[in-house]
Amino acid sequence: MEPILHFLIPLLILLALYPRIDRRLAFGLALLAVIPDIDFFIDFTHRFLFHNIFFPVILSLMIYFFTRSLKVSLISLYYLMSHLILDFATGSLALFWPLYQKLIEIKISLNSAWIFKFHIGTLPLRTIEEYMTSKPSYFFTEMGIMVLFVLMVMLIIKYKKEIIRYFRK
C-alpha cells in the first residue's frame, strides 16, 4: 500500500475515535505509519525487515524509553501496527521474520457466486525486482487519488462556511 494511505487511514480513524486527542501528537506520530516501508529502499529486505510484528513492539518500547510517555508509545504502536494490518490486507508479509523466514498471506473473499474462500499460504521472500514487477506503481495509485478526493470533499463540506467567508473578503 502506498505511503499517503498508510498515513491517512490510521490518522483519520484515530481522529474519528478520539476527536479530543492532541492534534500535534496525532499528526506527528502518523509519520511512523510510513516508516516500515523504509525497508523498500534497503535492497532485498522489503516486506520483512520492518514488516514483522517484532518491529512495532521494539520501536514503541524504544519510544517509551525515550519519552517516558505511555500515551506516546501506545499511539506509536497503533500507527506501526496499522501499517502491517493494511499491508497484510493487500498482500503478503513476513510477519514473524526472522523467526519464520517466509511471506505469509491470508486471502478471504466472497466471490460473485457467493462462494466464501479462506486461504492461508506462505511464499518465499522476494527481492525488490520481483516485487516491482508485480506492483509497478508504489508511490501513487488511483486508490490514493480517490481517497484524497473524498477527503477533500469532506473537508470542504465541513469548512464550507469558513471557505465562503474567506472568498467574500
Residues that bind Zn ion (CB under 5 A): 37, 87
Q: Among residues 11 and 87, whose Cβ is nearest to Zn ion?
A: 87
- As measured in angstroms, the least distance from the Cβ of 137 to Zn ion is 14
- As measured in angstroms, the least distance from the Cβ of 71 to Zn ion is 25
- Nearest residue (beta carbon) to Zn ion: 87
- As measured in angstroms, the least distance from the Cβ of 166 to Zn ion is 38
CA distance 169 to 20: 31
Q: Among residues 97 and 154, whose Cβ is nearest to Zn ion?
A: 97
CA distance 64 to 77: 10
List beta partners, residue 133: none
**30 close to 76: Cβ distance less than 8 angstroms:** no
Q: Among residues 4 and 37, whose Cβ is nearest to Zn ion?
A: 37
In angstroms, how far is the first alpha carbon of the chain from the final one? 42
Grid cell digits, residue 133: 514487477
List beta partners, residue 116: 110
Q: Among residues 37 and 72, whose Cβ is nearest to Zn ion?
A: 37
